[in-house]
Amino acid sequence: MATVPTAIHVEVLPARLGDCLLVECPRPDGTTWRMLVDGGPPDTWPLLEARLRRLDPADRHIDVAVITHIDNDHIGGMLPFLASDLAADVGDFWFNGRPHLPVTAPDRPRSVDQGESLVAALNGSAEDPLAGGPAARTSRPLPWNAAFGGGPVDTGAAGGFVEVAVPGGPTVTVLSPTTKRLARLADTWSKSLRAALGARDREVGVDVLGPLDDLRHLADARTPQDSSVPNGSSIALLVEHRGASVVLGADAHGGVLAAALLGVARARGGEDLRVDAFKLPHHGSEANVVAALLRAAPARHYLVSTNGDVFHHPDDAAVARVVLDAPAGPTLWFNYRTPRTERWADPRLVASHGHHVAFPDPGHADAGAVIDLPARR
C-alpha cells in the first residue's frame, strides 16, 4: 500500500501550562514551510532550543514565528529565542505590538516603522528606553508583520478573516483578533506587558477531579466567557495545505473564533468549516471552548496544550463539549498525560461515547503531541 504523504505536521510541545507549537508543511520541491507558534513559559526554552537545533541544518528555516499575545505562558520562551542566533532564520514575525493597536487618532497608520525593534517592543525596552540595555537597542531589526505590510495582524470586524497565500506552501487565514479586541489591548498595553514579563506562577490548591458520569450535564453547564483582554487579542490561524487543515486557536475568545470560522465557511458556500485538526483555544478552558465554536468548525482531531499547572486545564466542561458535540469518533490529543487528562481514556467512557484519546509516546514524552495530517491532493 502506498503511503499517503503528510500535508501538515503539528507538534504540540510540552510547554507546561502554555503553548509552543511547531507546524510544518512539506513542499513538493523537498523543502519545508515551517511555522513556530509561541514559546511557552520561560522554562520551555531549553526544550524548544533543543528541538530547533535538531532540524536539518540544510532546511531549518522558520518561515513564520507567531507571538500570539502577551501572556507569560506564550512569550516566556520567545524572548530567549529572539535573543538567540535561531531568530535570524525566521522569515517573518507575526506579532501585534503597541504600534499596531488602534488609537483614538484615526489617521495614524497602524504600522511599524522600518527598523523598529520587535525585541524592544516585546521585552519592554521600547516602553522604557533604559530598561533593555544596549543590546536591545543595537540588535539588528527582525522582519515584523511583513506579510501584512508592517501593519496589524487583525481581521477587521467580527466575522472577518484575512488570507495569506504562501507560494508553493500553505494558505494561512487569520481568524483573530478583531480590530475591536486590539483596541481593548491599547488601553491596558503597558500593564499587560508588565504582567506578562513579570509573571510568576500563582500558587493554587490541589486539583480536585470530579466525576465524568454525566457529560451532558457538564457540557451544558453555563460557564463564564473569557474576558481576558490579552487573550482576546490572540492571533488565531487556519493553516491549509494540500487539502489538509488545522485551526490554531491560541487563547482566542470562543465567540470571535466561531464568527471568523463561519465567515470563512460562508465565503466558501458552506454552513460550517470542516477541518482535520483543531488546537483548542486557551488550553481547553470552558470559558473559550464553547458549543458555537465546535459547531462552526467540526474536526476529527482536537489538540489540547497544557499539563494542568496553575489553572487545572483542560476543564471537564470543555472536553465534554468536544466529546458530545464533535462529529462521531473524534480523537483528543493531550500533550501531557496527567490524572486530569487520563480520565478521558477510561475504557467505559470511550466505549459509551466513541471518542479516542492519544497521549505522548511514553518513550518520547519530550516530543509532546505529534500529529501528521495526510494530503488529500
Query: Binding residues for Zn ion, per CB under 5 A?
Result: 73, 251
- Closest approach, Cβ 235 to Zn ion, in A, equals 13
- Contact (CB, 8 A) for 51 and 25: no
Residues 183/102, Cβ–Cβ less than 8 Å = yes
For residues 139 and 338, which CB has a smaller minimum distance to Zn ion in the complex? 338
Query: 110 vs 181, which CB is nearer to Zn ion?
Result: 181
Q: Nearer Cβ to Zn ion, position 251 or 276?
A: 251
Q: Least distance (Å) from Zn ion to the CB of residue 282? A: 6
**Identity of the residue, 73 or 276, whose beta carbon is nearer to Zn ion in the bound complex:** 73
Instruction: Please report how close the Cβ of residue 94 comes to Zn ion at its closest, in angstroms.
Output: 17
- Torsions phi, psi of 250, nearest 5? 45, -135
Cell of 194: 508588565
CB of 18 to Zn ion, least distance (A): 6
The residues, ordered by sequence, that sit 6+ positions from 228 with a Cβ below 8 Å of its Cβ are 251
- CA 8 vs. chain centroid, Å, equals 15
Neighbours of 336 (CB within 10 A): 23
Residue closer to Zn ion by CB (options 241, 282) is: 282
Residue 246 CB, nearest approach to Zn ion (Å):
18
Give the strand pairing for 244-248 and 62-66.
unpaired
Task: With residue 296 as reference, give the H or E element that holds it.
Answer: helix 291-296
Residue 227 phi/psi, 5° resolution? -110, 10
Provide the minimum distance between the beta carbon of 281 and Zn ion in the complex, in angstroms, as a whole number. 9
Q: Which residues pair with 311 in a beta bridge?
A: none
The distance of Cα 361 from the centroid of its chain, to the nearest Å, equals 22
Give the residue with the Cβ less far from Zn ion, 24 or 251: 251
Shortest distance, CB of residue 199 to Zn ion, whole angstroms? 11
Distances (CA, A) of 26 to 8, 165, 229, 295, 296: 7, 15, 35, 30, 28
With 0-12 / 13-18 / 19 or more C-beta atoms within 10 angstroms meaning exposed / middle / buried, residue 173 is: buried
Residue among 100 and 279 whose Cβ is closer to Zn ion? 279
